[in-house]
A = this chain, B = another copy of it.
Amino acid sequence: MEFQVLENGGVCSAKGYRAAGVTAGLKVSGQPDLAMVVSDAPAVVAAAFTSNLFAAAPVEWDRKIVRGELPVRAIVVNSGVANACTGTQGAQDARAMAAYTAEKIGCLPEEVLVSSTGVIGRQLPMDVIRHGIDLATEALSADASQDAARAIMTTDTVEKRVAVSLEIGGKTVTIGAMTKGAGMIAPQMVLCNNRPKQATMLAYFTTDAKISRTALQEALSRALGCSFNRIVVDGDTSTNDTMVVLANGLAENAEIHRETPELDAFAAALEYCAQTLAKAMVMDGEGVSKFVELRVFGAMDDASARQIAEAIARSPLCKTAWYGEDPNWGRILCAAGYSKVPLKPTQVDLDFDDVPVVRSGLAAPGSSEAQMAAVLKKRSFQVRLCVGAGPGRCVLWTCDLTHDYVKINADYHT
């Protein structure tokens, strides 16, 4: 490992970042609901957003900013209301959030990224938002990584943040991050760049690295593919998913460019942070009692492996069996069988951790149900499905479906 994990890190760990987390009054619970992150220096930005066609108003605002290739100074985030399916009013409100923040911290509206998370279809109460921005601006501090991480939570039960530092060209570069998300989690985010392409989990990374825009995009893209884009809690892909990396250059390293060892080192550190947060998100997923690392391999190609893995990760029968610590492996094969990927039952092997479960499509000889059940009693285990001799593989981090999931989601809105 070419980097060091920092204790108690977060979005304020890197040089030149201040943050705040305040209670504007959006949540009935009275919990913190507005976060702000400000970079003292203009920051290069790379970002990825949801592929949902009902992308929320703040996502649309952010895409415009990110494609504009101008530096970014701040991020303002509210929880409680998603500002999705809110039309022209929603677009105006997203812009107004940026503009009001810009006015307070002294920059242009186009230098402020905006995120929202919460109930879809409601308009933002802008007086409450402005009140929150007032409070946040006053509270800005280089010691508020925890406050900010708390203020972006919705059904999350723990705040999630991480930071690492590494040496690049004799300079210490730091990456800090925070994320939220427990339900409506099956991100399929797409890198936002000049070629318009198009993930409610939110993830914010701040670094003091000096790095080119394209190198930052490359690092984000690598990290995204093996972190947030490989998690499935409930299989619902949100309208607001957002991953943003800001790089303000205050570490004063020689600028990092593509296809260099320095980028590899930086990308590896970013990837570590993203993976740590993505796993934490699944562990803290709504009602989750089991963390499952699902590995599908031997498929024709990676896309086929992914399609099989998604069928299993989304199957209510597989997920409830994990919750029940029930080695009912037929449900896993069944899900693979309806995934619409061609496969031969006789070529299928399945393992729970180190216990063979299925060999050549049949119950593995010599393994008892008690052995299988023992694996499932663990809080975290691996499910490995081999579907043939092909090169295609996929790893998904997923979870069980529990009574608490139903409770949380039958009662969330009203």
Contact = CB atoms under 8 A, between A and B. Distances in A.
Interface string A57-90: 0000000000000000000000000101111000
Interface string A351-386: 000000010111100000100010000000000000
A100 interface: no
Interface in A174-197: 183-184, 186, 188
A-B pairs with the 3 shortest C-beta distances?
Answer: A120-B330, A324-B410, A54-B337
A236 B53 contact: no
A405 interface: yes
Interface residues of chain A: helix, strand, loop or mixed (majority): loop
B413 A333 contact: no
A238 interface: yes
Given A236-B317, A413-B326, A333 B85 contact: yes
A320 interface: yes
A406 B320 contact: yes
Interface stretch (A156-164, A209-217, A244-252, A338-346): A338-346
A405 B327 contact: no
Given A316-B236, A409-B321, A188 B85 contact: no
A54 B336 contact: yes
A322 to B, nearest CB: 9
Contact of A338 (B86, B188, B316, B343): B188
A84 B358 CA distance: 13
A130 interface: no
A121 interface: yes
